[in-house]
Amino acid sequence: MMDCKKALAECAGDAAAAAEWLRKKGLSGADKKAGRIAAEGAVARYIHPGSRLGVLLEVNCETDFVAASEKFQALVNELGMIIAATDCICVSPEDVPEEVLAKEREVEMGKEDLANKPEAIRTKIVEGRLQKMRDQVALTNQATLSNPDKTVAELVKETIAAVGENVKIRRFIKYRLGEGLEKKSNDFAAEVAQQTQAKAAAPAPPKKEEPKKEEPKKATVAVSASVVKELRDKTGAGMMDCKKALAENEGDMEKATEWLRMKGLAGADKKAGRIAAEGVVASYIHPGSRLGVLLEVNCETDFVAASEKFNELVNYIAMGIVAGQNVQYVSADEIPAEVFEREKQLEMARDDLKGKPDAIRAKIAEGRAKKIATEMCLLDQPFLTDPSKTVAEAIKEGIATIGEKISVRRFVKFQLGEGLEKKSNDFAAEVAAATGSK
């Protein structure tokens, strides 16, 4: 109230000028706070309706009190939607990756409209165009959704003035479903014609008649409906499949479960070569908003992508990524050779191996490095709801149940404040410092 009264007095009662005076005052206060350490905040997400586009972002402030405030949360939510709605690729113009700039520079230098200009002029024009590109792809320069006349940078400064703490957008990532993947052709007529030609070109060899061998008949095992239901509840397989599994395995529940799993996995392996370019972009934010994951899981059709079974599997995979502290890659194939070699060298240098011969040390170190690599891979982790099987096995069972190829394409995990310096709360020292300065 006193600030408003002073603003009106300073601006001769002009409400518009007073509002601008207050904004300037607020921004000035925000600039003073910009140097303070912000290591609290929130990891948040925005998934666009349809689950084909998703954003994961981290926004920092100074205290968990402000992180839980309505003003801060409103900022975070709006930022997620702005990132999804624009082509921004980084937080500020200074954050544009050098490889992106190098590629753009090469393209601009080769354009015909600059071909006849002197080298110095061409370079100057190209750098001007690159600066414009930097501004266009930076989140801080985007217009806000609540007020298109205001930039994100201005919105952040206003939030700083309102909450009284430094606020920083630290990082974000955006996934678009299927970007870069080959789409499946649905030209069934062409597929049928191709298969017909292939059959005509390669006549089948004459069949050799072999004497039939009589296989000993298995004794029929009586299977009760309650046991069939128990196996069905345990595996999710069809009733007749459960009945057959129990009959084949003389009523042994464990063997029947394994029989169904093997049958399902065989079906899943046949589907593994098919193209999966549909699916969902999904996320999971752990309670407290300090840890979050964004992932893309693919299937073959949008019908399956919308199914409850598929989305349940995706949700469990997302929670499993958050639960696995060391999970960084989808599979072992993605681990860079230098990462594996570094882990191996670290194990070689451990004290418990120092007295062993080099050959033995190398063998033990490699075994340990492989174990660490397994801990880094999502597909090798225990499945969240059934630790007796891996994520890879759970996905194969999902393929067998759903009838389409399913694959985890990529994921990213953000932990709030990782790598940031934490603010010291030694209030006695702060008071002493303030007293000394006076």
Q: Which two tokens stand for residue 400?
A: 């067998």
Tell me the residue ranges of DSSP E strands in 86-230: 168-176
Q: pLDDT tens, position by position, for the chain (438 residues)?
A: 677 888 889 889 888 888 777 766 655 556 666 667 678 999 999 999 999 999 999 999 999 999 999 999 999 999 999 999 999 999 999 999 999 999 999 998 888 888 888 988 989 999 999 999 999 999 999 999 989 999 999 999 999 999 999 999 999 999 999 887 765 554 545 544 555 565 555 555 555 555 555 555 555 667 788 888 787 666 656 667 788 888 888 888 888 887 776 666 555 666 666 767 899 999 999 999 999 999 999 999 999 999 999 999 999 999 999 988 889 999 988 888 888 888 888 888 888 877 888 888 888 888 888 888 888 999 999 999 999 999 999 999 999 888 889 999 999 999 999 887 665 555 455 545 545 544
Q: Residue 410 gets which letter from DSSP? A: E
Amino acid in position 270:
K
What fold does the segment set 12-95+138-176 form as a domain? Tetrahydropterin Synthase; Chain A (3.30.479)
Cα separation values, 116 from 86, 107, 110, Å:
35, 16, 11
Residue 63: its pLDDT value, please?
93
Residue 72: its pLDDT value, please?
97
Sign of the alpha-carbon torsion through 289, 294, 299, 303: positive
Task: Report the distance separating Cα 101 and Cα 247, nearest Å.
Answer: 66
Q: Which of 52, 49, 46, 48 is nearest to 277 (CA)?
A: 52
* DSSP output for 380-404: GSEETTEEEEEHHHHHHHHHHHH-S
Task: Report the distance separating Cα 165 and Cα 60, nearest Å.
Answer: 10
Task: Report the distance separating Cα 193 and Cα 336, nearest Å.
Answer: 43
User: Which distant-in-sequence residues (6+ apart) come within 8 Å of 383 by Cβ?
Assistant: 316, 320, 389, 390, 391, 393, 394
Task: Report the distance separating Cα 229 and Cα 129, nearest Å.
Answer: 68
Count how many Cα atoms sit within 13 Å of the Cα of residue 117 in the half-sphere of its side chain. 15
Cα separation values, 232 from 217, 240, 373, Å:
26, 9, 35
Residue 264: its pLDDT value, please?
60
Task: Report the distance separating Cα 11 and Cα 46, nearest Å.
Answer: 42
Cα-based torsion angle of the residue sequence 360, 366, 372, 377 in order, rounded to the nearest 10 degrees:
-150
**Contact (Cβ atoms closer than 8 angstroms) between residue 410 and residue 175:** yes
**Domain extents in the chain:** 12-95+138-176
Residue 16: its pLDDT value, please?
81
Residue 44: its pLDDT value, please?
97
Residue 21: its pLDDT value, please?
72
Residue 61: its pLDDT value, please?
95
Residue 191: its pLDDT value, please?
47
Specify which residues 138 forms β-bridges with: 90
Q: Which of 341, 295, 345 is nearest to 320 (CA)?
A: 295
**Contact (Cβ atoms closer than 8 angstroms) between residue 378 and residue 331:** yes
**Contact (Cβ atoms closer than 8 angstroms) between residue 46 and residue 176:** no
Beta-strand pair 278-285/291-299: antiparallel
Q: Which two tokens stand for residue 91?
A: 């937080």
Determine the Cα angle at 389 with ends 386 and 390, to 5°.
Answer: 110
Count how many Cα atoms sit within 13 Å of the Cα of residue 263 in the half-sphere of its side chain. 15
Cα separation values, 361 from 236, 340, 352, 370, 387, Å:
46, 16, 10, 14, 32
